[in-house]
Structure formats: C-alpha cells, structure tokens
Structure 1
Amino acid sequence: MDKQLLNRTTQQLKQVCADSTTPAGDDGSREANTAQKSALNQMFELFRFNYHNQFLKAFPNADTLITAKRLWARLLMDYPASMILSAAERAVKECSYLPNVHEVISRCDLAAEFGVPDAHSAYIEACRAPSPKKNFGWSHPIVYFAGRASDWFFLANSTEQQAFPVFKRNYDLLLQRLQQGEDIQLAVEKALPVTIERPLDRQQQQENLQQLKSLL
C-alpha cells in the first residue's frame, strides 16, 4: 500500500508537469496570492497531521514537498483561499487516504457548482447587508441563513476575529446540507460557548434589544 501511495503521488506530479505548458496568450506570470499561499501551507500541515505516515512517504524530502506545493498552487490559484481550506477540511473528513490535488479541486468545484460565494466573501456580504435582511438581494440564500444562524447583532458588534469563525462554522454546515440536498432553512444548532459570559445588567440588555430591533 505504501508503494502504491508513493507511485500515485509520483504519477500525479509527472502528469501536472506534463500539462504545465504555458497556454497561448498567457505569459506565465500569474501566481497564487499571499492568502492562497497561506491556505496552501495550512492545507499541507492539515494533511501532515491527519495522514502523518502517508504524508511522509508521499513527500519524503523538502524538494518533493516544495515541488508539490508549487504545482498545487498553480492548479488552485483560481479558487479563494477560504474555499481551498474548506475543500481541504472536507477532504480530510471524507478521505481515508491522503487526498491528491484533484480531490481537493473537486470539492472546490462542488461549492462553485451551487453558485455560492466562498466563506469569507459570504461573511463580508452578511455584515454589509442593510436591514431588513430578508429584503436584501443576497448572492445566494445560504448567505442569509448563515447570517441568521450566526446572529445579526453578534455579526454587527463583534470583530472579524471573533465573528468570522462562528459564521464560517454555520456556513460550512449549511453548505454541507446544500450538497446533500437537505433544507438549509432549518435552524442550525448553536455551538457550545468556550467561556461563560457574565450576564448583562438591565440597562445593557435594553440597549442591546434596541440595536437588535434596528437590524431586523
């Protein structure tokens, strides 16, 4: 099995190299942006952690790993960084063996097939959408339902560092429902809080209630 894995990876690299001729009209200057490169590095670390022995056999040295990252970057540069990471995470959940680049691309294409934006673009759209939310011209209904599940007040009054992970978790759950043909309008179960916050006093509760009403 280890030999088969190594042969599989080698053939994949050879095939991509064989297909790497620059198309007519393309000066070959395109390259992945900083966010995509960061996503690619995170993806390889995710694979290293989850497929440790397979990963080391597929990429036995630094040169092989660098070559693979360059080739994967070229093939994935048309996808946003957040979509690359989401596809990698889904691949880890669904694949018993180390995924190849085509398996990651297929999961990126699956999201694109439904015409949904990547998670971060959806988050920005949800944060910027005016009230009433239901009347906004959403790029896809999944963005609205992810925003609703994340709580509009929370999105409007939290930093991106705090709010985006919550939104992304809900968005990914709804995207999974969409891919499986399930109803995305059903309520999303809330994640358990990491910490327990102190209750707000009555004045703060009233102020927050007024702000929340203005968002509906």
Structure 2
Amino acid sequence: MQKIKPLLDQADKELKNDSSASPTVAGQSKQSKPLPGDDEKQGIDRVDAINQVFAEFEFAYHNQYHKAFSDSESLAIAKKYWLSVLENYLPTQIVQAAKALIRSQEYLPSVAAILRACEQGTDLFGLPSAREAYLEACSAPSPKREHQWSHEAVYYAGKSAGWFLLANESESTTFPLFEYHYAKLCRLVMNGEQLDIEQPDALPDKIEVKLDKDETRARIARMKKDLGL
C-alpha cells in the first residue's frame, strides 16, 4: 500500500503541470498529408460499345459472324450503320443488350434485335420500374439501410426524396419527386456507376472514455481516501 501513494502523488503532480502548460501557439498545426486525387473514371463511348459488341458476337457466333461479315469492308459498313441506328442509346445499354441476346439467342442477332433489347432500358441493369421502385421505397421498414433492396438506386432515390415525406405526404406529391431522383440514379447506373449503400461502423468491443482533469483528480482523491493515505 505504501508503494501506491507515490504513484498517486506523481499522477496528481503531472495533472497540475499539464494544466499549467502553455497552449499551442496560434497558427501552429500539424500538416496533414494531401489527399490523392480520385482517378477520373473513363467510360466507353458509343464507338467502343459497337466494337465491343461485334467482338463478342465474333466469339459467340464465330461461323455465322464470318459468313455475315466476310471482309473488312462489309464489317466497317455494318459497324457504321449500327452506330447510326443506336445513336440514341447509352454505350453501356448497347453492350448490356448484346450480352442479353448472346445469353438467349442461338443465331447472330440483327440490329433490329439489338434495338428491341435496348428498349428494355432499366431491365438490362436489374433496375425496377419507377412505379415498382416507389412502392418499395414507401413500404420498406426501418432501418432503411438494412433492408434488402431490389437495387441500391431505389434506396438512394428514397433517401433523396426524403423518407419522412414519402411516409406522410400523398402519392401525387411524392411520386414525381421520387421519380425525378430515381431517373437520375438510373442514368448513373446505366452509365456504369456503382452504387453502394453505406453501412454504419461497427461498435468496438471496448469503448474507452478519457476522463477530464477534474474528474481524474477527484478519482485520485477518492482512491487516497479509500486507502487511508
């Protein structure tokens, strides 16, 4: 017990010295490392998309492909024609449409088949319709982040529109707002953007609370009293 008293006295002394220490001079601060700039995401353009589609068609329908495009001239003409016909669709939409056809068709798809597949729009990316997404957002239980969403875009559209608004206002008021945000998010997804729902940090196994100086002094005083020092 006699060994404890010097330790308590030393701790009390250090607290007093610490409280009388001069504050940091104004303007002095630790220089933080500059954050590295995010690399710019380079998405494919429509020409790249057409080239990728034809490359995948060649691999999937080898004999049919080379019969249809027997020389470089006919291939170049076909690519230019497809490019003009598909000019109103996103590059990622064109690629996804081609992939969907490859999975379902035994024969080399025509440009008409690609057009029909592109018309599926959001379905190619696993996105529900705006109406389905709205109903899901309105009925999802809390906590919203833990709900098993049909697509992350539905969650973010609901969050942008406002969960309180969706729960308390009429559909005539909330659906146009939700649809606006959902359309923007669908566009991002169709352009290749990856949406991830943020998850809260897990609580640590042990939470350490740093005592202020007054509380520390009070505890040292109580320990001295309890130990009869």
**The TM-score by the shorter chain falls in which range?**
0.3 to 0.5
TM-score relative to the length of structure 1: 0.43
TM-score relative to the length of structure 2: 0.41
Q: If each structure's helix is expressed as a fraction of its own residues, which one has the higher value?
A: 1
CA radius of gyration, larger in: 2
RCO comparison, higher one (Cα < 8 Å, 6+): 2
